[in-house]
């Protein structure tokens, strides 16, 4: 059986020289790779008491929804600003060049609910930190954050030091 790392396509010098881009689409395009990715993420939360799975747009949806389905838990989408139809809360966060805003429905997390956040990649950690802050503002507790891949050289884990963070695959570089 192949290891998950073997399904990841690495593209050198993208988006700029010296960077190795880790392409998640090569996992998605292989049924065995996709199944292994979902199973591996789910394994990371097998002993976690969780009420809700949440994921950030868009690849957090891809990996979070099947986990929520398998565990028979609700899924909460965390989206880019202006994409949700009901009353929302929002959180700004910094990007490498500028800033962005994510939102979630104001009624999506109930006080006291235990939430697992799922996303495909941790780089600097800004997006998922913003997501965690929104969960907490609604009274939820972030009990775990799981990423499929981690770029350790960008130190996103340090930004999330107050949370239980795990990744399935860890790359030392950027």
User: Does residue 15 belong to any structural domain of this protein?
Assistant: no
List, in sequence order, every residue forming a beta bridge with 24; answer none if it has no partner: none
User: Does residue 40 belong to any structural domain of this protein?
Assistant: no
Say what the pLDDT of residue 164 is. 98
Cite the active site residues. 59, 96
CA-based nearest residue to 106, from 76, 126, 80: 76
Q: Report the distance separating Cα 114 and Cα 37, nearest Å.
A: 23
Kindly report the CATH number assigned to the domain that includes residue 148. Answer: 3.40.50.2020
Its domain, for residue 97, covers: 47-169
Spatial neighbors of 27 by CB under 8 A, at least 6 apart, are: 4, 7, 8, 33, 34, 36, 37, 148
User: Does residue 3 belong to any structural domain of this protein?
Assistant: no
Say what the pLDDT of residue 42 is. 98
List, in sequence order, every residue forming a beta bridge with 6; answer none if it has no partner: none
Q: Report the distance separating Cα 156 and Cα 153, nearest Å.
A: 8
Structural domain tally of the chain?
1
Spans of the chain below 50 pLDDT: none
E-strand ranges in 27-159 read: 52-56, 75-80, 88-95, 98-105, 114-122, 141-151
User: Does residue 165 belong to any structural domain of this protein?
Assistant: yes
CA-based nearest residue to 93, from 160, 170, 22, 7: 160
User: Does residue 152 belong to any structural domain of this protein?
Assistant: yes
Q: Strand, coil or helix: what is 64?
A: helix
Say what the pLDDT of residue 61 is. 98
User: Does residue 36 belong to any structural domain of this protein?
Assistant: no
User: Does residue 155 belong to any structural domain of this protein?
Assistant: yes
Say what the pLDDT of residue 174 is. 74
What pTM, to 2 d.p., does this model score?
Answer: 0.96
Q: Report the distance separating Cα 15 and Cα 151, nearest Å.
A: 15
User: Does residue 16 belong to any structural domain of this protein?
Assistant: no
Count of residues making up the chain: 174
């Amino acid at each position: 059986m192949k290891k998950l790392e073997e399904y990841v396509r690495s593209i050198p010098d993208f988006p700029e020289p010296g960077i190795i881009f880790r392409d998640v689409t090569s996992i998605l395009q292989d049924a065995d790779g996709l199944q292994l990715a979902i199973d591996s993420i789910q394994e990371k939360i097998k002993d976690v008491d969780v009420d809700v799975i949440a994921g950030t747009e868009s690849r957090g949806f891809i990996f979070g929804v099947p986990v929520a389905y398998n565990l028979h838990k609700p899924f909460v989408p965390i989206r880019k600003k202006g994409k949700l139809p009901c009353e929302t809360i929002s959180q700004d966060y910094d990007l490498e060049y500028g800033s962005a805003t994510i939102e979630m429905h104001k009624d999506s997390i109930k006080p006291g609910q235990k939430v697992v956040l799922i996303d495909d990649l941790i780089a600097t950690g800004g997006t998922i930190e913003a997501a965690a802050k929104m969960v907490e503002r609604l009274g939820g507790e972030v009990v775990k954050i799981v990423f499929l891949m981690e770029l350790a050289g960008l130190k996103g884990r340090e930004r999330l030091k107050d949370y239980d963070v795990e990744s399935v695959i860890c790359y030392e570089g950027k």
